[in-house]
Amino acid sequence: MLQDDTHHAALHGRPDDGQIMAGISLYIIYMELMSICENAKKMGAPLPGFVSKVLDTVDATLKEEDVTEAVKKIKELEKEIEELKK
């Protein structure tokens, strides 16, 4: 069954469940690393220049609309996954 689902998803250019899970896992890892770096910066730990620059950019560009849009896209993906499981 799983093989058929993967084949079906590949034919239609959609990611399979494994690809979605890998993407979510990478996102969580990235967010945790950013959190660790932010906390280290707040405690006064010396960080390489490029890390400080990224943290400053992230702080300046994150807006409520971005979070709302991300949640909306996640809900759409959840619906697509449920439809593929049928």
Residue 53 in domain: yes
pLDDT at 1: 45
**What percent of the chain is predicted at pLDDT more than 70?**
77
Take residue 50 and report the two structure tokens written for it: 């490029």
Burial of 2 (0-12, 13-18, 19+ CB in 10 A): exposed
For the chain, what is the domain count? 1
Residue 32 in domain: yes
Residue 3 in domain: no
pLDDT digits (tens, 9 = 90+) for 44-72: 888 888 877 777 776 566 677 777 888 88
* Global confidence as pTM: 0.47
Residue 11 in domain: no
